């Protein structure tokens, strides 16, 4: 019976070590309880399933059979920090993909003629269809300062939320916390 239970645990909970490592990085003890990590994996799994179902419904509404990054971005569009983080991730993912394609094709990233200047792969700017500026992108100059301003605004919003949460928890007793 124990072997069957252990086999079921291994097939259902695949990310226990990664979750334990993340918990340690965020201030948990070195080896947290297995029940705690399994609970966190269950919560993450249910949230991932929920957002995938919602993104699939969004893709179906726009008439597509396949999920796209825009479906996920549309779901989190009201949380500027998450949107910027996802856009940043997608742009760097595209950069890594292009570099890997160049390496697989046999092209050297560094040309022999320009050995002191490596070729740079440009980071792609992800544009969202519902942003007004993107509808008129041919007429507007490409301005990276907007992204920097958005990132700074998102950071200041995040810091304000963290400060507010810190103020709330300071007034709590140990039992309330």
Task: Supply the pLDDT for residue 126.
Answer: 63
Q: How many CA atoms lie within 13 A of 169 on its CB side?
A: 7
Measure the CA–CA gap between 113 and 119, rounded to whole angstroms.
Answer: 11
What is the per-residue pLDDT for 112?
Answer: 47
- Report how far apart the first and last C-alpha atoms of the chain are (Å, whole number): 39
- Residue-wise pLDDT for 114-168, tens only, equals 445 455 555 556 666 656 555 555 544 455 556 677 777 877 887 888 888 888 8
Give the model confidence (pLDDT) of 16-55 as tens digits. Answer: 999 999 999 888 888 889 899 999 999 999 999 999 999 9
Q: Which of the residue ranges 56-60, 85-89, 103-107, 135-139 has the most confident prediction, judged by mean pLDDT?
A: 56-60
Residue 63 has pLDDT above 60, yes or no: yes
d(CA 66, CA 79): 24
Please name the residues in contact with 37: beta carbons below 8 A apart, sequence gap of 6 or more: 13, 16, 19, 20, 23
Does the pLDDT at position 93 exceed 70? yes
Residues in Cβ contact with 120 at an 8 Å cutoff, skipping those fewer than 6 apart: none
Which segments of the chain does DSSP mark as H helices, in order? Answer: 2-12, 16-25, 34-61, 69-75, 80-104, 132-135, 145-170
Structural contact between residues 111 and 120, judged by C-beta atoms closer than 8 angstroms:
no
Model confidence at 113, in pLDDT bands (50, 70, 90)? very low
């Amino acid at each position: 019976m124990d072997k069957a239970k252990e086999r079921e645990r291994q097939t259902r909970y695949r990310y226990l070590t990664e979750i334990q490592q993340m918990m340690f990085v965020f201030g948990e003890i070195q080896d947290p309880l297995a029940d705690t990590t399994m609970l966190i994996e269950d919560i993450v799994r249910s949230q991932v399933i929920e957002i995938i179902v919602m993104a699939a419904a969004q893709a179906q509404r726009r008439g597509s059979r396949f999920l796209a990054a825009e479906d996920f971005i549309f779901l989190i569009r009201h949380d500027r920090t998450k949107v910027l983080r996802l856009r940043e991730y997608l742009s760097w993912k595209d950069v890594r993909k292009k570099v890997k394609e160049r390496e697989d094709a046999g092209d050297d990233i560094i040309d022999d003629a320009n050995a002191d200047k490596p070729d740079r792969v440009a980071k792609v700017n992800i544009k969202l269809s519902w942003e007004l500026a993107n509808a008129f992108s041919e007429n507007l100059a490409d301005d990276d300062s907007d992204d920097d301003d958005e990132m700074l605004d998102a950071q200041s919003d995040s810091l304000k939320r963290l400060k507010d949460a810190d103020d709330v928890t300071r007034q709590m007793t140990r039992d309330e916390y």
